[in-house]
Structure 1
Amino acid sequence: MLSAGRYAELSTALADRGHALLTSPERYRTAHKLPGWYDVFAPLTPHSAWLPLAPGGAVDPEELARLAERLGGAGPAVVKDWVKSRKHEWSEACYVPDLADTARLASVVARFVQLQGAYLTGGVVLRAYEPYRPVGEARVWWLDGEPALIGPHPDTPGLTPDPDLSEVASAVRQLACRFITTDLALHEDGRWRVVEAGDAQVSGLPRTTEAKPLFTALTTAAAR
Structure 2
Amino acid sequence: MGSTGASLLTSKAEYLATHYLPNWYPLIADLTPETKFYSVDDDLENELNRLAWNGFFIKDYVKSLKTSVGSIINKPSEIGTVVSEMQKFRGSIEGGICVRRIEDFVSETERRYFVVSGKAFAALPDEEVPEIVEECAKRIGSQFFSVDVIERRDGTKRIVEIGDGQVSDIVGWTAERFAQLWVG
2:181 aligned to 198, 217, 222, which one?
217
8 Å contact kept, 1:140–1:183: yes
Instruction: For 1:218 and 1:66, locate their aligned partners in 2 and report how far apart those are by CA, in whole Å.
Output: 48
1:166-216 CA distance string (max 9 Å, x none) = 13311221111111111111101111111111111211014x732323323
Instruction: State TM-score, norm by structure 1.
Output: 0.71
Counterpart check, 1:186 vs 2:171: no
Instruction: For 1:64 and 1:163, locate their aligned partners in 2 and report how far apart those are by CA, in whole Å.
Output: 41
Residue 96 (structure 1) shift: 1.3
Residue 15 (structure 1) shift: 3.6
Higher relative contact order at CA 8 Å, sep ≥6: structure 1 or structure 2? Answer: 2
8 Å contact kept, 2:121–2:129: no
Counterpart check, 1:172 vs 2:127: no
1:74-93 map, 5 Å:
74-89=53-68, 92-93=69-70
Residue of structure 2 in register with 1:20 after alignment: 7
Instruction: Indicate the RMSD between aligned Cα atoms, in angstroms.
Output: 2.4
8 Å contact kept, 2:57–2:73: yes
Counterpart check, 1:35 vs 2:4: no
Instruction: For 1:52 and 1:20, locate their aligned partners in 2 and report how far apart those are by CA, in whole Å.
Output: 36
Residue of structure 2 in register with 1:117 after alignment: 91
Gaps (5+ residues) in structure 1? 1-13, 54-58, 152-161
Instruction: For 1:73 and 1:113, locate their aligned partners in 2 and report how far apart those are by CA, in whole Å.
Output: 25
Residue 17 (structure 1) shift: 5.5
Task: Specify which structure has the higher proportion of helix.
Answer: 1
Which consecutive segments of 4 or more residues in structure 1 shift more than 3 A?
A: 14-19
1:73-108 CA distance string (max 9 Å, x none) = 33210111111111343xx24121133xxx322232
Residue correspondences, number: 182
Residue of structure 1 in register with 2:75 after alignment: 98
The alignment partner of 1:150 has SS state of coil
8 Å contact kept, 1:182–1:196: yes
Q: State the AA in 1 paired with 2:178.
A: L
1:142-153 map, 5 Å:
142-150=115-123
Question: Sequence identity, in percent?
Answer: 26
Gaps (5+ residues) in structure 2? none
Task: Specify which structure has the higher proportion of strand.
Answer: 2
Instruction: For 2:13 and 2:151, locate their aligned partners in 1 and report how far apart those are by CA, in whole Å.
Output: 31
Instruction: For 1:134 and 1:216, locate their aligned partners in 2 and report how far apart those are by CA, in whole Å.
Output: 28
8 Å contact kept, 1:163–1:192: no
